Amino acid sequence: MYSYEVIIEDGHTRLAMTDPETGAYAEVQHKGELTDEACQTTLTNFFIEFEKILNPENNNE
Amino acid sequence: MALQTSGQISLDDLHVEAGGTSGTQCSMNDSDIRGLVSAAANSQMTFSSFYGASSAWTATMTVGSFINQFFGYSPSFSMGSMTDLTVDNLGNAPILDLYHNAGTNLNLVFSANVPNSGWSTLTIGSTVFSRASASYIYQFGQTFYTWTPVSNPFGSSGTKTITIA
């Protein structure tokens, strides 16, 4: 489970969180309802996609 | 957008160009306003010295590609080039990559810690991306802005004007 805060800027909603293990700080775009379940899904999916950004050669798999 | 090159300029004009909100308090000695003309703190400035000043950073990219899936600039893929990689209106933040990835993501990567503030738009050619609409992550000394899903703003070759304002 991620711990996060909600940021709203110019009509865009971001979920802000810090990874306690790596110290990484992220603000992740979120669309849709602001339920915890939806936010957890957004964060989980983002970090899966972010792995592909960090390792773009895996996009071809 | 750059300030006018003649006529009357107000302090509010300078504030807005520097990224401030119109009608809010400011002074010519504020660092963001001084930064428009690279003036030192407490130095003497005239309004005319701000003619044509801009808070925007601009460079030209020669668009590169890699395996026909990545387009833009990325040294790690040996693709593309840019005329300037130091974004002076973001504290001289060094650009590491700017590319569109596998049909979905636009990625702007700095090899430094860049706070998620201080700029509003990334313009590639005529396509504008707002900072507020990006996801942002800082880790291991690198800052990533990623927009998804977006179509490729670079095309597959040629040059594009890149502006961060």
Backbone angles phi, psi at B49, to 5 degrees: -70, -10
Report d(CA B118, CA B63) in Å as an integer: 26
Give, for all 165 residues of chain B, the pLDDT tens digit.
678 889 999 999 999 888 788 999 999 999 888 888 878 889 999 999 998 888 889 999 999 999 999 999 999 999 999 999 999 888 889 999 999 997 789 999 999 999 998 888 999 999 999 999 999 999 989 999 999 999 999 999 999 999 998
Q: Choose among A10, A24, A59: nearest Cβ to B130.
A: A10
Contact A26/A20 with Cβ under 8 angstroms? no
Testing the interface with A: which of B70, B136, B144 to mutate, by most A Cβ within 10 A?
B136
The label of the residue with tokens 């950004």 reads A53
If you ran DSSP here, which 8-state letter would residue B123 be given?
A: E
Enter the tokens of residue A41: 């899904």
Q: How many CB pairs under 8 A join A and B?
A: 57
Q: Which residues of A touch B69 (CB under 8 A)?
A: 59-60
A2 at interface of B, judged by CB pairs closer than 8 A: no
B139 at interface of A, judged by CB pairs closer than 8 A: yes
CA distances to A53, B48, B77 from B124, rounded to whole Å, are 20, 30, 20
Q: Which residues of B touch A49 (CB under 8 A)?
A: 105, 148
Contact A53/B107 with Cβ under 8 angstroms? yes
Q: Give A7→chain B minimum CA distance, Å.
A: 10
Q: Give A58→chain B minimum CA distance, Å.
A: 10
B136 at interface of A, judged by CB pairs closer than 8 A: yes
A20 at interface of B, judged by CB pairs closer than 8 A: no
Enter the tokens of residue A48: 């899966």
The pLDDT-based confidence of A57 (bands split at 50, 70, 90) is low
B116 at interface of A, judged by CB pairs closer than 8 A: yes
Q: What three-state secondary structure class fits B159?
A: strand
The whole-model pTM stands at 0.82
**Cis ω on the peptide bond leading into residue B115 (within 30° of 0)?**
no
Identity of the amino acid at B57: W
